[in-house]
Amino acid sequence: EYYNFIYCYKKILGSKKIKKTNSTHTISEIHGDLTLENIFIHPVKKDFKIIDPNPINAISTPLIDYSKILQSASSKYEQMRHI
């Protein structure tokens, strides 16, 4: 038997183990789509800008940004999109 995403999502959010794990992380403002292509670096000024925020997530924890930048760096997704 297969379940749709909404059913699974509700089960995950209702899980005591998930609630306990998430309760150890602070809720805060996040970028929401932190990928390598959303970071611009100015080599002369040694400054950077982060563009294209998407802060609308079900859970606003810094783990979202950490996981997105890790996925971006390890999968080389941005390079593959332009092929």
Each as own residue / partner, the long-range contacts of residues 78-81 (CB below 8 Å, 24 or more positions apart, any chain) are 78/35, 78/36, 78/37
- How many angstroms separate the CA atoms of 7 and 72, rounded? 28
- How many angstroms separate the CA atoms of 56 and 50, rounded? 16
pLDDT tens sequence for the chain (83 residues): 777 877 877 777 777 776 666 665 566 678 888 888 899 999 889 899 999 888 777 667 788 888 888 888 888 766 766 66
